[in-house]
Amino acid sequence: MSVVNLRGVTKRYRDTLAVDDVSFDLHENRIHGLLGRNGAGKSTVMRMLTGQEIPTSGQVRVFGENPYENAAVLPRVCFIKESQRYPDIFLARHALEAAAMVFPNWDQDFADRLVEEFRLPVKRRVRKLSRGQLSSVGVIIGLAARAPVTLFDEPYLGLDAVARQAFYDHLIADYGRYPRTIVLSTHLIDEVADIIEDVTVIDRGRIVMDDSSENLRSQAVTVSGPTNAVEQFADGHDVLHREDLGGFTRVVVSGIPADRDTASLQVEPVSLQQLVVRTTQFHDAALAGAGNGKGDRS
Protein backbone atom coordinates (compact mmCIF):
# COMPACT_ATOMS: atom_id res chain seq x y z
CA MET A 1 0.00 0.00 0.00
CA SER A 2 1.32 3.46 -0.86
CA VAL A 3 1.31 6.19 1.80
CA VAL A 4 2.62 8.97 -0.45
CA ASN A 5 1.43 9.70 -3.99
CA LEU A 6 2.65 12.30 -6.46
CA ARG A 7 0.74 12.68 -9.72
CA GLY A 8 1.87 15.03 -12.47
CA VAL A 9 3.65 17.29 -9.99
CA THR A 10 5.44 20.34 -11.38
CA LYS A 11 7.16 23.07 -9.39
CA ARG A 12 8.38 26.33 -10.90
CA TYR A 13 10.31 29.17 -9.28
CA ARG A 14 9.81 32.03 -11.73
CA ASP A 15 11.87 30.94 -14.76
CA THR A 16 13.31 27.83 -13.08
CA LEU A 17 11.61 24.48 -13.57
CA ALA A 18 12.64 22.53 -10.45
CA VAL A 19 10.28 19.55 -10.80
CA ASP A 20 8.77 18.54 -14.12
CA ASP A 21 5.62 16.37 -14.26
CA VAL A 22 6.75 13.92 -11.57
CA SER A 23 4.66 10.90 -10.58
CA PHE A 24 5.67 8.19 -8.12
CA ASP A 25 4.58 6.43 -4.92
CA LEU A 26 6.21 5.74 -1.58
CA HIS A 27 5.02 2.45 -0.15
CA GLU A 28 4.18 1.61 3.42
CA ASN A 29 6.95 0.13 5.56
CA ARG A 30 9.69 0.32 2.93
CA ILE A 31 13.06 2.05 2.83
CA HIS A 32 13.25 4.22 -0.27
CA GLY A 33 16.26 5.84 -1.89
CA LEU A 34 15.54 9.22 -3.49
CA LEU A 35 18.65 9.74 -5.55
CA GLY A 36 20.03 12.27 -8.01
CA ARG A 37 22.61 15.00 -8.43
CA ASN A 38 22.67 18.37 -6.74
CA GLY A 39 19.86 20.51 -8.11
CA ALA A 40 18.01 17.53 -9.56
CA GLY A 41 14.82 18.33 -7.64
CA LYS A 42 15.04 15.90 -4.69
CA SER A 43 14.83 18.49 -1.92
CA THR A 44 12.00 20.31 -3.68
CA VAL A 45 10.01 17.07 -3.82
CA MET A 46 10.57 16.47 -0.11
CA ARG A 47 9.54 20.00 0.78
CA MET A 48 6.28 19.47 -1.10
CA LEU A 49 5.73 16.14 0.68
CA THR A 50 6.12 17.87 4.04
CA GLY A 51 3.87 20.81 3.24
CA GLN A 52 6.68 23.37 3.03
CA GLU A 53 6.09 24.03 -0.66
CA ILE A 54 2.96 24.03 -2.81
CA PRO A 55 3.22 22.43 -6.27
CA THR A 56 2.66 24.70 -9.24
CA SER A 57 0.50 21.95 -10.70
CA GLY A 58 -0.29 18.32 -10.00
CA GLN A 59 -1.30 16.53 -6.83
CA VAL A 60 0.62 15.57 -3.70
CA ARG A 61 -1.07 13.23 -1.22
CA VAL A 62 0.30 11.92 2.08
CA PHE A 63 -1.94 9.37 3.80
CA GLY A 64 -4.52 10.32 1.19
CA GLU A 65 -4.55 14.02 2.09
CA ASN A 66 -2.93 17.26 1.00
CA PRO A 67 -0.08 17.82 3.50
CA TYR A 68 -0.03 21.61 3.27
CA GLU A 69 -1.03 23.11 6.65
CA ASN A 70 -2.69 19.81 7.51
CA ALA A 71 -2.54 19.11 11.26
CA ALA A 72 -3.73 15.54 10.70
CA VAL A 73 -0.77 14.75 8.45
CA LEU A 74 2.26 16.76 9.54
CA PRO A 75 2.83 15.16 12.99
CA ARG A 76 3.06 11.82 11.17
CA VAL A 77 5.85 13.07 8.89
CA CYS A 78 9.41 13.81 10.03
CA PHE A 79 11.72 15.69 7.65
CA ILE A 80 15.40 15.95 8.62
CA LYS A 81 17.73 17.80 6.28
CA GLU A 82 21.39 18.74 6.12
CA SER A 83 22.20 21.96 8.00
CA GLN A 84 18.86 21.88 9.80
CA ARG A 85 18.15 25.29 11.34
CA TYR A 86 17.14 25.71 14.98
CA PRO A 87 16.60 28.88 17.03
CA ASP A 88 19.93 30.37 18.10
CA ILE A 89 18.91 30.37 21.75
CA PHE A 90 18.30 26.60 21.71
CA LEU A 91 20.57 24.22 23.51
CA ALA A 92 20.89 20.85 21.78
CA ARG A 93 18.54 19.33 24.35
CA HIS A 94 15.88 21.93 23.50
CA ALA A 95 15.78 20.64 19.90
CA LEU A 96 15.20 17.12 21.22
CA GLU A 97 12.56 18.29 23.69
CA ALA A 98 10.72 20.17 20.93
CA ALA A 99 10.73 17.03 18.77
CA ALA A 100 9.34 15.02 21.70
CA MET A 101 6.37 17.37 21.85
CA VAL A 102 5.71 17.22 18.10
CA PHE A 103 5.95 13.50 17.32
CA PRO A 104 3.46 11.16 19.05
CA ASN A 105 5.70 8.08 18.67
CA TRP A 106 8.76 9.72 20.26
CA ASP A 107 10.89 7.23 22.24
CA GLN A 108 12.81 9.11 24.92
CA ASP A 109 14.82 6.09 26.07
CA PHE A 110 15.98 5.49 22.49
CA ALA A 111 16.86 9.18 22.11
CA ASP A 112 18.90 9.07 25.32
CA ARG A 113 20.84 6.04 24.10
CA LEU A 114 21.56 7.75 20.80
CA VAL A 115 22.74 10.90 22.58
CA GLU A 116 25.28 8.77 24.46
CA GLU A 117 26.43 6.88 21.38
CA PHE A 118 26.83 9.97 19.22
CA ARG A 119 28.43 11.85 22.15
CA LEU A 120 26.12 14.81 21.68
CA PRO A 121 26.76 17.68 24.15
CA VAL A 122 23.11 18.37 24.93
CA LYS A 123 23.87 21.41 27.11
CA ARG A 124 25.72 23.23 24.33
CA ARG A 125 23.97 25.88 22.26
CA VAL A 126 22.99 24.66 18.81
CA ARG A 127 24.82 27.52 17.10
CA LYS A 128 28.07 26.38 18.75
CA LEU A 129 27.78 22.75 17.68
CA SER A 130 30.20 21.39 15.11
CA ARG A 131 28.82 20.22 11.78
CA GLY A 132 29.02 16.61 12.94
CA GLN A 133 27.25 17.38 16.22
CA LEU A 134 24.51 19.25 14.37
CA SER A 135 24.11 16.23 12.10
CA SER A 136 23.80 14.06 15.21
CA VAL A 137 20.90 16.19 16.45
CA GLY A 138 19.07 15.57 13.18
CA VAL A 139 19.61 11.83 12.96
CA ILE A 140 18.66 11.36 16.63
CA ILE A 141 15.39 13.21 16.04
CA GLY A 142 14.73 11.32 12.80
CA LEU A 143 15.26 7.94 14.46
CA ALA A 144 13.65 8.56 17.85
CA ALA A 145 10.56 10.24 16.37
CA ARG A 146 9.53 6.97 14.71
CA ALA A 147 7.24 8.95 12.42
CA PRO A 148 5.23 6.78 9.97
CA VAL A 149 6.92 8.72 7.13
CA THR A 150 10.50 9.79 7.85
CA LEU A 151 12.61 11.65 5.29
CA PHE A 152 16.36 12.13 5.63
CA ASP A 153 17.72 14.71 3.18
CA GLU A 154 21.44 14.01 3.64
CA PRO A 155 21.64 15.11 7.30
CA TYR A 156 24.31 12.47 7.96
CA LEU A 157 26.87 14.01 5.56
CA GLY A 158 28.42 15.86 8.49
CA LEU A 159 29.10 12.60 10.35
CA ASP A 160 32.38 10.76 10.09
CA ALA A 161 32.45 7.22 8.68
CA VAL A 162 32.10 5.57 12.11
CA ALA A 163 29.12 7.72 13.08
CA ARG A 164 27.45 7.22 9.69
CA GLN A 165 27.76 3.46 10.09
CA ALA A 166 26.23 3.75 13.57
CA PHE A 167 23.34 5.66 12.03
CA TYR A 168 22.78 2.98 9.37
CA ASP A 169 22.99 0.20 11.98
CA HIS A 170 20.41 1.89 14.24
CA LEU A 171 18.19 2.67 11.27
CA ILE A 172 18.08 -0.96 10.14
CA ALA A 173 17.64 -2.36 13.63
CA ASP A 174 14.89 0.06 14.64
CA TYR A 175 13.14 -0.27 11.28
CA GLY A 176 13.05 -4.04 11.88
CA ARG A 177 11.30 -3.53 15.23
CA TYR A 178 9.16 -0.56 14.21
CA PRO A 179 8.53 -0.65 10.44
CA ARG A 180 7.70 2.66 8.80
CA THR A 181 8.26 4.42 5.49
CA ILE A 182 11.77 5.85 5.36
CA VAL A 183 13.29 7.94 2.58
CA LEU A 184 17.06 8.40 2.26
CA SER A 185 18.22 11.13 -0.10
CA THR A 186 21.97 10.84 -0.50
CA HIS A 187 25.01 11.04 -2.75
CA LEU A 188 26.63 8.17 -0.81
CA ILE A 189 24.86 5.53 -2.86
CA ASP A 190 27.35 2.75 -2.19
CA GLU A 191 26.86 3.20 1.57
CA VAL A 192 23.07 2.78 1.41
CA ALA A 193 22.86 0.32 -1.49
CA ASP A 194 22.23 -2.63 0.81
CA ILE A 195 19.67 -0.72 2.87
CA ILE A 196 17.26 0.77 0.37
CA GLU A 197 14.52 -1.44 -1.02
CA ASP A 198 13.05 0.93 -3.60
CA VAL A 199 14.88 3.44 -5.79
CA THR A 200 13.64 6.66 -7.36
CA VAL A 201 16.15 8.69 -9.36
CA ILE A 202 15.45 12.29 -10.35
CA ASP A 203 17.45 14.13 -12.98
CA ARG A 204 16.69 17.68 -14.13
CA GLY A 205 13.38 17.50 -12.31
CA ARG A 206 12.23 14.30 -14.05
CA ILE A 207 12.02 10.70 -12.92
CA VAL A 208 14.55 8.57 -14.79
CA MET A 209 14.36 5.42 -12.62
CA ASP A 210 11.64 4.17 -10.28
CA ASP A 211 11.60 0.52 -9.24
CA SER A 212 12.67 -1.86 -6.53
CA SER A 213 16.39 -2.11 -5.96
CA GLU A 214 16.26 -5.81 -6.75
CA ASN A 215 14.55 -5.30 -10.10
CA LEU A 216 16.89 -2.51 -11.14
CA ARG A 217 20.00 -4.53 -10.39
CA SER A 218 18.66 -7.45 -12.40
CA GLN A 219 18.13 -5.27 -15.48
CA ALA A 220 21.69 -4.22 -16.24
CA VAL A 221 25.11 -5.80 -16.63
CA THR A 222 28.66 -4.77 -17.43
CA VAL A 223 30.07 -6.64 -20.43
CA SER A 224 33.74 -6.71 -21.41
CA GLY A 225 35.53 -8.39 -24.30
CA PRO A 226 36.45 -8.11 -27.97
CA THR A 227 34.63 -5.18 -29.54
CA ASN A 228 32.72 -7.21 -32.16
CA ALA A 229 31.50 -9.71 -29.59
CA VAL A 230 30.41 -6.98 -27.17
CA GLU A 231 28.52 -5.13 -29.92
CA GLN A 232 26.70 -8.30 -30.94
CA PHE A 233 25.78 -8.96 -27.32
CA ALA A 234 24.45 -5.44 -26.77
CA ASP A 235 22.69 -5.08 -30.14
CA GLY A 236 19.15 -3.78 -29.72
CA HIS A 237 19.62 -2.68 -26.09
CA ASP A 238 20.41 0.65 -24.46
CA VAL A 239 24.12 1.06 -23.88
CA LEU A 240 24.35 3.28 -20.80
CA HIS A 241 28.12 3.64 -20.95
CA ARG A 242 30.93 2.55 -23.26
CA GLU A 243 34.72 2.42 -23.01
CA ASP A 244 36.98 1.38 -25.92
CA LEU A 245 40.63 0.45 -25.79
CA GLY A 246 42.05 -0.88 -29.03
CA GLY A 247 39.98 -3.93 -29.94
CA PHE A 248 38.63 -4.28 -26.40
CA THR A 249 35.28 -2.78 -25.30
CA ARG A 250 33.49 -2.48 -21.99
CA VAL A 251 29.82 -1.47 -21.85
CA VAL A 252 27.03 -1.12 -19.32
CA VAL A 253 23.89 -2.54 -20.92
CA SER A 254 20.34 -1.89 -19.71
CA GLY A 255 18.01 -4.80 -20.28
CA ILE A 256 19.95 -8.06 -20.13
CA PRO A 257 19.93 -9.62 -23.59
CA ALA A 258 18.64 -13.19 -23.54
CA ASP A 259 20.19 -16.12 -25.42
CA ARG A 260 23.35 -14.24 -26.41
CA ASP A 261 26.74 -15.91 -26.75
CA THR A 262 28.96 -15.00 -23.77
CA ALA A 263 31.80 -17.45 -24.42
CA SER A 264 34.36 -14.73 -25.21
CA LEU A 265 32.91 -12.12 -22.83
CA GLN A 266 33.11 -11.21 -19.18
CA VAL A 267 29.67 -10.42 -17.78
CA GLU A 268 29.42 -8.77 -14.35
CA PRO A 269 26.62 -7.29 -12.24
CA VAL A 270 26.36 -3.52 -12.00
CA SER A 271 26.49 -1.82 -8.61
CA LEU A 272 23.56 0.40 -7.73
CA GLN A 273 25.81 3.46 -7.76
CA GLN A 274 27.14 2.63 -11.22
CA LEU A 275 23.62 2.00 -12.47
CA VAL A 276 22.38 5.35 -11.16
CA VAL A 277 25.40 7.25 -12.51
CA ARG A 278 25.33 5.63 -15.94
CA THR A 279 21.55 5.95 -16.29
CA THR A 280 21.74 9.63 -15.38
CA GLN A 281 24.51 10.19 -17.92
CA PHE A 282 22.49 8.33 -20.54
CA HIS A 283 19.48 10.50 -19.76
CA ASP A 284 21.63 13.63 -20.16
CA ALA A 285 22.94 12.42 -23.51
CA ALA A 286 19.41 11.67 -24.69
CA LEU A 287 18.25 15.18 -23.75
CA ALA A 288 21.28 16.71 -25.45
CA GLY A 289 20.57 14.68 -28.57
CA ALA A 290 16.93 15.77 -28.56
CA GLY A 291 18.01 19.37 -28.14
CA ASN A 292 20.26 19.06 -31.17
CA GLY A 293 17.57 17.41 -33.22
CA LYS A 294 19.19 13.99 -32.93
CA GLY A 295 17.12 10.96 -32.19
CA ASP A 296 19.89 8.41 -31.57
CA ARG A 297 20.06 7.69 -27.81
CA SER A 298 22.91 5.13 -27.86
Q: Could you tell me the CATH number of the domain that includes residue 275?
A: 3.30.70
Query: Do the strands 238-245 and 248-254 form a parallel or antiparallel pair, or are they unpaired?
Result: antiparallel
Nearest-angstrom CA–CA distance, 143 and 228? 52
Examine the domain organization and report whether 149 and 25 are in the same domain: yes
Same domain, 40 and 164: yes
User: Given a cut of 60, is residue 293 above it in pLDDT?
Assistant: no
Q: Are residues 41 and 155 in the same domain?
A: yes
CA 37 to the chain's CA centroid? 10
The percent of residues above 70 in pLDDT, for the chain, comes to 95
296: in domain:
no
Judged by DSSP in three states, 277 sits in helix
Shared domain check, 189 and 61: yes
Average confidence (pLDDT) over 209-235:
90
Same domain for 144 and 264?
no
Q: What is the pLDDT of residue 106?
A: 97
Nearest to 91 by CA among 129, 117, 145: 129
| Between 120 and 286, residue with greater pLDDT | 120
Buried b (16+ CB within 10 A) or exposed e, 62-94: bbeeebbeeeebbbbbbbbbbebebeeebbbbe
Tell me what the mean pLDDT of segment 125-133 comes to. Answer: 93
Do 169 and 253 share a domain, yes or no? no
Domain boundary among 174, 195, 215: 215
Q: Decide: 129 and 121 in contact? Cβ < 8 Å.
A: yes
Domain that holds residue 140: 2-215
Q: Residues 223, 199: one domain?
A: no
Question: How many structural domains is the chain composed of?
Answer: 2
Q: Are residues 180 and 250 in the same domain?
A: no
Over residues 247-267, mean pLDDT: 83
Residues 110, 90, single domain; the answer is yes
- Partnered with residue 152 across adjacent β-strands are 80, 184
Residue 294's pLDDT band, with cuts at 50, 70 and 90, is very low
Mean pLDDT of the 268-279 span: 88
Of 152, 135, 87, 145, the C-alpha closest to 111 is 145
Last residue of a domain, one of 215, 249, 277: 215
- 166-196: pLDDT as tens digits: 999 999 999 999 999 999 998 888 889 999 9
Mean pLDDT of the chain: 90
Statement to judge: residues 244 and 122 lie in one domain: no
The last residue of one of the domains, among 155, 184, 215, is: 215
Tell me which of 271 and 29 has the higher pLDDT.
29
CATH number of the domain at 38, please. 3.40.50.300
117 lies in some domain: yes
State the pTM of this model: 0.87
Measured between its terminal Cα atoms, the distance across the chain in Å is 36
pLDDT at 236 exceeding the cut of 90: no
Q: Is 261 within a domain?
A: yes
Residue 244 lies in a domain: yes
- Same-domain status, 53 and 142: yes
Examine the domain organization and report whether 101 and 227 are in the same domain. no
Higher pLDDT, 10 or 216: 10
